[in-house]
Structures are given as C-alpha cells and as structure tokens.
Structure 1
Amino acid sequence: MQPSDLRVALFSGNYNYVRDGANQALNLLVGHLLNRGVTVRIYSPTVPKPAFPATGDLVDVPALPLPGERGEYRLARGLPARVKRDLAAFAPNLIHVSAPDILGHRAISYARRHGIARVASLHTRFETYPRYYGLRLLEPFAERLLTRFYNRVDRVLVPGTMLGDILHGWGVRTPTSVWSRGVDHDRFSPAKRDLAWRRSLGIGDDEVAVGFLGRLVKEKGLDVFADVVAELRRRGTPHRVLVIGEGPARDWFADQVPDAAFAGFQTGDGLGRAVASMDVFFNPSVTETFGNVTLEAMAAGVPVVAARATGAVGLIDDGVTGVLVAPRDVAGYADAIAALALDHDARRGMGRAGCHKAARYRWDTINEAVLVAYLEVMNGSEATGG
C-alpha cells in the first residue's frame, strides 16, 4: 500500500476551536499527510470563531460546552446520523482517534463494526487530572477506562517510550509507535530574545525571569509553581516570574504569585519572543505526554527545570539541558531554580545545550513516522472486527 491509497478519518475533540499543543500537532500532521498524497477528513466539534483556521476538510460534530470553568471546551455527544452518513460516503480505510472521549469511543466502535483499521494517539495524561480537583481516588478507575480504550485499537501513537511503558504497565496490549513532536526553529530561537519587551513588563535587564508558559488551569501544576515561588521568596533568591498564557485559573494564580508579570496569551512570533526572553523555564506539570512548551524553551536557548515525568523525561538531559526534579518536590525545584538564578554561566551553558538538542526535532521527520505507522497497520492487516 502507498500513501495515496490511504483514506484517513481523523476524530478530534478540539481540532481548532481552542488553541493548544495537541490540536496544533494534529493540524501539522494533516498538512504533512495531504502533502504526501493521503486523503484526510476531520471530524470535530466546531465554533463560529475558531482559534485558528483548520488544515484540511473539517466536518462539524454536534457538541455541548463542558460545565463549570471549562466551558470553552466542547464535548461531542457521539456520532449522529448526519455524521455517520458523511463518514460512510467518505469511506475511510483507517480511523485515527486523538482523545478517549465519547466521540473517540463511538468512532472506534464504528471502525470495529465495519472492519476499518484504527489508530489512537495519546496527547494528554487524562488519568492525572482528578488529583487537581480533590478526586485522586478516581485515578485507578480512569486508568482502567483508558486501558480498555487503547486495547480497542490496532496501534497507539505515543510521544515517547516512557509513556508506552506506562500503558503496557496498565495492561494495554496494543503495539505502540513513537510520534514525537517538532518545533518551528524560525520562531523559537535565542535570537528572538527582546530586553525591551521585558522592560515593558517591568522586568529589568539584570533580573532573572522564571517563566511559566501554558494554559492557566490547575492541572498544569500551578499550585506547585506557586509554592516554589513562595519558597524562593522565603530564601531571598533574586528572581521575577514571567507568565505567558491565559485560562480560567488566572485570577487564582495571580493571587498566589502577586509580583509576577502577566504577559497574557501570545502567539506567532510574539510567542517566540516571549519564550526567548525568559531566563529559566519552569514546568512542574505531570499531565504532559510530551511537553511542546519544554521543547520550545529549549529551542529558544532557555534552560528548563521540570518534573521528572513523561513530558520531560527523554527530552531533557538532566544536568545538561536542564534539571529534572521529582514531581511536587517544592524544595528540590527551589534548589534547582536558585542554582540557575545565581549562576549566569550555568544558565548559558544549559541553554546552548538545549538549543543544540532541540535542533533534531523537525516536524516533517516527526510526522513521517505517523505515516509509516499507518502503513504498517494497513500492510500488516492488524485491524480486526468485533
């Protein structure tokens, strides 16, 4: 089978209506597949004013806003008759699901009934979410649900081998392939550092800016970040906090880090400037499967302090391109950040090493691995019915 023989139906819970790392990766993947001659059709909830234009043909799937603070996200109710008719007319020979939501489950069931090959990609550690909302006891239940979900496909695309090992430890028997992530090296570069922009936020040229980059939601580790900042203040470690992003937890976070400079949501070249203008990037999140923001910081020449978890292990060389710390180890994070804040040469050395390593991560190479996995599934006749 050749790429031009593939007809891929991609199912996403959020293809372009709210910008995040997962859907940007999916759009880049679709662009690569189209360029390689693959026929692709995307099924996802939509909104009248999406965050960015969709790559490829996008079919709307009816959805409802999530309750509470997360109303900007939408939950598809399944595969209604209109969408099933469109899917039947498209006649895919491979279905790719990107989230273990209702839509993903229904798409897998449709594929199994019709003997269509099925691939799932893993973008978020959903099983870790309950702990941020006082529901840690639900994590084993979430793991069991996810195990069942991934055992119903023919291949799971994981961002790194560590996550594949975690899935197999749960009992996932499906083969895995690595779909890493790339970075735009024209946008994320040490050359984008802008001291004038920092000054406009009240950050002096000689101040060490400890940066947060991401959506301001508690599952990104905002509580740990705030505790570490408080510890740095207690120790008298000279630093400033630079926050890039927006989200429903912004007001709560601003109360926790009252001296921080909030630059708001950034995109395009403005985002590249913001990242390169940090001195240390701090990422305590354990919900990441890869950590696009960590790679972007590395490409911009910024040393990283991060949780020793799936979003950083394998990407950061501990002590070379950054520092890995046990999740929720506030003192350990503070030690690492303080050491970098007080040692300009160490920051520069780690930044250079990170930039050098990030140069390996290029989207065309990364996305070709997905196409190879598709063809392996098809050529190996891995798909089964039932």
Structure 2
Amino acid sequence: MEEEILRQELLSGFIFKDKASEKILDELTQMAAAICDTPISLISLVGKEKQWFQSKIGLDLDETPIENSFCRHAIEKPGEIFIVENPLEDIRFKTNPLVQSDPNIRFYAGAPLTTSDGITLGTLCVIDKKQRALSKLQIKALQILANQTIDYLEHKREHVNQNDLLKKSISKFNKLSNHSLDALFQLELNEEKNIYFTYINETINDLLPQLEIEDFKNHPFKALDFVFHEDRLMVENTFVDAVRHKKDWDITYRVLKTDGTFAWHQSRAFPDRSSSEKVVWYGSFRDVTDKKNYLELLEKIIFDISHIMRRPIANMLGLIHLLEVSDDGDMLNNREIIKYIKIVSEEIDGEIQGLNENYQKIKTSFKNIY
C-alpha cells in the first residue's frame, strides 16, 4: 500500500508532453518493437484506476482500466521481465477484453520501469497478436531499453523539477525586486555591439512613467529624452565611456517629470566580464531627490553655524571682555553691556530655533523612507 502511494506521487512528475520527450520515448518503443519483432510496443504507466501509455507504437488506445492491465502484474516483480506466451491459456488473462477482442493479445512481455529509489512505475512492453517467444538476446535488449527509458524519465523529471524551482525562485525574486525603491536592471552588450536590457524590474514605471518600457529595454538611449537638457550630454558621455571601456559608472542627474518639475536620479552599475563575447552590467536607477534635499538642508545648517551664528557669538565675547576690563563703579555702562548681551543671547536662541526647524524638515522628509 505504501509503495502504491509513492508510485502515484512519483507518476505526477513523469508525465511529459513536450515534443522532444515524445520523440525520444517513441524512438525507444520503436527500437523495442523492432528488436523483438512485434507490431505493438508501449511505455505504460500504472495508476490506481487505469494505466496510460506515455508512448505507443501499433495501438490506438491511450489508456485502459487497471483491471485489464497486463502491466499491473509485471510491476509486482520489478527484478525480472514478465512474459505471457499464451494469454488464452492463462487464467489471469483469458477473459481479458484485450485478449478476447482488439488488439487480440496473444503474446506479452513487459520489462518493469523501476526508479533508483526502487519504485516501479510501469513497463516497457511488447505485444503480439500471435503466439511467439523471445530469444535470450531479445529479452536482454528489452531490459536494456527499459533501463534507458527509466533513466531518461528520471533525468527529465529532475530537469522539470529544477525548472519549477527556478521559476519559483524567479517569481520570488521578481516580487521582492518589484517592491524595491530601486529600478534594478541587467544591461547587455552583445557581440554585435548592441546594447539592451535583459532585465529591468517594475520600479522603472514609477521613476519614468512617461517612458515606453518595452521600447526602453531594446533602446536604452531613449531615456535621454527625459533627462534635463543641461545634464544630457554629461549622462550620455559617462554612459558611452563606461560601455566602451567596460567599467563601472555612477551618474547623478536631473530628470523631467510629467508636471514640468524635475527629480534627481542616480544610476549606478558594474560590469561582469565572465563571457568573452558579451559584457553584462548589473545596476540600478534610484530617485535621490530626497537625498539631494537632505544634503542641501545639511549644507544650510552648516552655513548657519559657520557664518550666521559666529557674528552674535563674537559680539557676546566682545561684550564679556568689556565687562572684564570695566571698573566696578561704572554700573551704568555695565547695565548697557548686559542689555546688549541679552539681545545677542536672544539672537542666538532664535538661530538655534531655526536650526531645530530645519532638523524637523529633514525628519519629516525622510519619515517615509526609514
């Protein structure tokens, strides 16, 4: 019972409908029929309720009920070829519809198809409409062909499984990639010196919604139409130089938006020279407008500290010096100095408040990013 369950699980991975698989399996059945000199040869897979023919020569049926199957008996002894030389004299088969009517089986030989894990899935069998026997050489050849059949099926199943895993991995990567803030890309320069994107994620739609993406993939230079005119030549020259010399690039430039304003974009990439015939760059496009604004605010803060605040501090130091050198009896003059110190202190306090306001702007600007 456990083997039956395992067989049904494995069979789901052994159904191949592609033309290459059908051709190879048909060639194996043709060889079996030719070597054994029979009109019918089948690759039969035994299910729970029916057997179906993954490949067939000389038979119009695609499947039969399991109770009519010769192969279900053959798989009970996976280590040997199951032969029925005269079904009419065999109590198991003499009333079988396949014996009593078309295809009128009078001879059957089935070589079990057993996986490397010891699970028998079906048979490579040959069938004749007349009584006959196989030579030892034919029996050996049929076994060899059965071994080749199961080897091919197992390798094909592993290939299918690997493709499925690859597709799942690609799907997961695309889901992650398409939620990235960066437009990730793979850019290729082939042996004909043509440049095109072999991959770019959906984030590019957010960065350049006015660009036809499929057209952009095959014609990367079309993105220059949306680069701010003062930056266009710099971007083009940097890109061409990187492609020509197969080196990294890191470009920051302005891009026109649909509302007439512009955003700051950064493009970075590095080449992979693993192939002598082509060069592939892996990189990203990123909107760095907030970063630019952040840097400008920081520069303003630094300017405020280094220029604006130095004046009131210098004034305060000067007033303090006057207090230090003045006579204790000159109270009127001291009061005047204290008044100015208060003014300067308030001025410094105002500047500090301004710096705090700028900090809050930075914090607000980046709260959706971090």
State whether TM-score is above 0.5. Answer: no
Bigger CA radius of gyration: 2
TM-score (norm 1): 0.19
More strand by share: 2
TM-score (norm 2): 0.20
More helix by share: 2
